[in-house]
Amino acid sequence: MKLLFIGDIVGAPGRRAVRELLPSLRQRHALDVIIANGENSAGGNGITPDIAAELFELGVDAITTGDHLWDQKEVMDLLQNEPRFLRPLNYPPGTPGRGSSVLKIRDLPPLAVLNVQGRTFMQPPLDNPFPLALEEAKWLRQHTNIIFVDFHAEATSEKIAFARMLDGQVSAVVGTHTHVQTADEQIFPGGTAYLTDAGFTGPHESVLGREIHPVLQRFRTAMPQRFEVARNDVRLHGAVIEIDPASGKALAIERVAEKLL
């Protein structure tokens, strides 16, 4: 099984990158499954049901999120009604939505997707992701050996430690949130593919997808600024992971950094 994970989609430029680049990526890599982090896909702030529907229509099979989950009030409809849409697992009990889902995609073996948020330098402070993720992975393995994890976190050390803990328990752990693609893709001894951060899909002539000048003004003056989504040098970032469907172990991981011409 070949899976493409698309790093944080930022605004309309990011969605355009998915629309225009995904078909060729699907063909080139013989992709079976597409998972995307969509928490910045609505103008850089959150996601709406209409945008989620657009991403599903473009071929995305599951959408993960993170700390911008609540930026659009319409997200409640997704949380309550869409099993392919995930929020971080480690919200308190009773929070709408789900942190994991076992999906049956076309004629493929069942695939589990797990979404977890870190705590170091992150807001809001959620429950401890380490014991919760271990327990959830144990439960998911009763349904499938193929488990993909989006760990939405800031600190590199927390991401590496979290993935090391899950080595051999899940197929892959890929980090999101920092919007900067790292060059540390690897397969751990237990068969878990790992990448600290997938990067982001959107305008790269920017500061993490936002127009440069307002961000500079904020740093220079400490005064509030409006951070609009930038427009230029649009790229799709992510990772292609090949997984043995029988064992659930990763066979290969390759970073993706595709420029929209």
The residues carrying an active-site annotation are 68
Residue with tokens 């950094």: 257
Q: What is the largest CA-CA distance in the chain?
A: 56
By three-state DSSP, how is residue 87 classified?
coil
Gyration radius of the chain's alpha carbons: 17
Instruction: Measure the CA angle with vertex 86, ends 80 and 88; round to 5°.
Output: 110
Cα distance between residue 201 and residue 22, in whole Å: 12
Query: In which region does residue 15 sit, left (phi positive, over 0), alpha (psi from -120 to 50) or beta (all else)?
Result: alpha
By three-state DSSP, how is residue 46 classified?
coil
Cα distance between residue 220 and residue 23, in whole Å: 42
**Residue 64: in which H helix or E strand, if any?**
strand 62-64
Q: Supply the angle between the helices 49-57 and 11-29 in degrees, to the nearest 10.
A: 20
**Residue 252: in which H helix or E strand, if any?**
strand 250-259
By three-state DSSP, how is residue 174 classified?
strand
Cα distance between residue 176 and residue 187, in whole Å: 18
Question: Which residues is 101 bridged to in the sheet?
Answer: 113
Q: Give phi and psi for 64, each to the nearest 5.
A: -105, 170
